[in-house]
Amino acid sequence: MRIKYLTADSNWQKRLEDNGFGFHTDENNVPYWIEHYYYSISPEFADKVYNATTELWQMCLEAVDHVITNKLFDQFQIPIFFHDHITKSWENDAPSIYGRFDFVYDDIKQQLKVLEFNADTPTSLYETGVTQWQWMQHYFRDRKDQFNSVHDRLIESWKELKPYLKGDTLHFSCMRETLEDLTNVEYLRDTAIQAGINTQLIYIDDIGWNGVNFTDLNEDTITDIFKLYPWEWLVYEPFALHIPNDEAEANWIEPSWKMILSNKAIMAVLWQLYPNHPLLLETYFDTPNGMRDYVKKPLLSREGANVTMYKNGAIVEATPGDYGEEGYICQALANLHQETTGYSIIGSWVIGQESCGITFRESNNRITTDKSRFIPHIIEE
């Protein structure tokens, strides 16, 4: 994998906006979307990511089963009132639509290592499935290829999921006034519509409770709902106490068993279950367990917040944030791929249980944050 440059259009921002991608540049005029260079990868490398993602997904399902069977919820700081809901969602095979693994690639060992699994509310879906694909069409037409069937897999997955819906309408929800979240949710809703599902958008704070069921703004019962809102936020809000009492037993997508996979504690559990597995980094709960080069991460941290990096036992890099009270994992320090433009990680999507596409995120520092840039990719011989 290596960076290649091209000559970007002078009006590329407008092209992206016309295609529904409005957050290509942040409020400080710093680009999030990179137009003028890309990652060139070989077909073999794309296959390597595909195979790693497929294998890890199966390992994660085993790990969820292990956590639920052994009632290890306390290690994940999941409140007691919600244990049964998670167990039930797992036993009932409650449908999941998507998730994204974040990998690093060690150039020396030529080895992928998973950093974490964004299993509950992964974003950058629109820029992966649509904007990245349109970028390739714009500059390369059909002459080049991408590891990217995200759009097709979403539509197919909704079709597969449709028979399991409990009602006639699938609601989609996110916070209001967040363009990035709305873009992701509306893209998912777009693909659900294309799969023949009736949909409605409702902001998360507009969800009602009538004493028996959750309701939309028409006072209709919500039977199935996709929420781009983390479970770990939901369950600590008083309204969540209604969820176990919901007579309709609404399908929540992602299902509540995904709480286990989106929690960084899963990385320590995976290491316990699959010690020294080549795709895993050595990881422990709370303490480094003798490691000198490691990263300390809060169990529920998002976008690289409150991450502290240690080398030879001393702090070399740290990020601010509001996480950490819930506990930590200590994960062996990974070697990140580095170009002159920055450090990069690979996001690999699982949609409808299949590995189906990748993204590259690039940072000036070794800790990936919400300031990290999105780099498109091309498969080339």
| Contacts to another protein by CB under 8 A | 18-20, 22, 46-47, 50, 118, 120-124, 126, 129-130, 133-134, 145-152, 174-175, 178-183, 186-187, 189-190, 193-194, 203-211, 215, 219, 228-230, 233-234, 236-240, 242, 262, 302-303, 354-356, 370
Nearest approach, Cβ of residue 3 and another protein (Å) = 21
What is the Cα–Cα distance from 353 to 119, expressed in whole angstroms?
A: 12
Tokens of 205: 């704070």
Q: Secondary structure of 75-91 in the HEC alphabet?
A: HHCCCHHHHHHHHHHHH
Cβ of 67: how many Cβ atoms within 10 Å? 25
Nearest approach, Cβ of residue 358 and another protein (Å) = 10
Nearest approach, Cβ of residue 145 and another protein (Å) = 5
Pairing of strands 308-311, 98-106: unpaired
Nearest approach, Cβ of residue 375 and another protein (Å) = 17
Nearest approach, Cβ of residue 356 and another protein (Å) = 7
Nearest approach, Cβ of residue 340 and another protein (Å) = 27
Using CA atoms, how far residue 277 sits from 56, 280, 298, 350, in Å, is 10, 5, 23, 20
CB nearer another protein, residue 339 or residue 354: 354
- If we measure between CA atoms, which residue out of 337, 248, 329, 237 comes closest to residue 291? 329
CB nearer another protein, residue 219 or residue 381: 219
CB nearer another protein, residue 44 or residue 276: 44
Residue 198: enclosing H or E segment and its boundaries? strand 198-203
CB nearer another protein, residue 130 or residue 260: 130
First to last CA, the chain: 11
**Which residues are CB-contacts of 24 (< 8 A; sequence separation ≥ 6)?**
13, 16, 17, 31, 32, 33
CB nearer another protein, residue 206 or residue 286: 206
- What residues are paired with 169 via a beta bridge? 198
What is the Cα–Cα distance from 70 to 373, expressed in whole angstroms?
A: 40
CB nearer another protein, residue 50 or residue 274: 50
CB nearer another protein, residue 83 or residue 144: 144
CB nearer another protein, residue 75 or residue 262: 262
Nearest approach, Cβ of residue 69 and another protein (Å) = 27
CB nearer another protein, residue 66 or residue 353: 353
- If we measure between CA atoms, which residue out of 201, 223, 225, 221 comes closest to residue 210? 221
- Taking the alpha carbons of 29, 10, 149, 156 in that order, is the dihedral positive or negative? positive
Nearest approach, Cβ of residue 62 and another protein (Å) = 21
Output phi, psi for 119, to 5 deg.
-95, -15
Nearest approach, Cβ of residue 91 and another protein (Å) = 25
What is the Cα–Cα distance from 215 to 221, expressed in whole angstroms?
A: 5
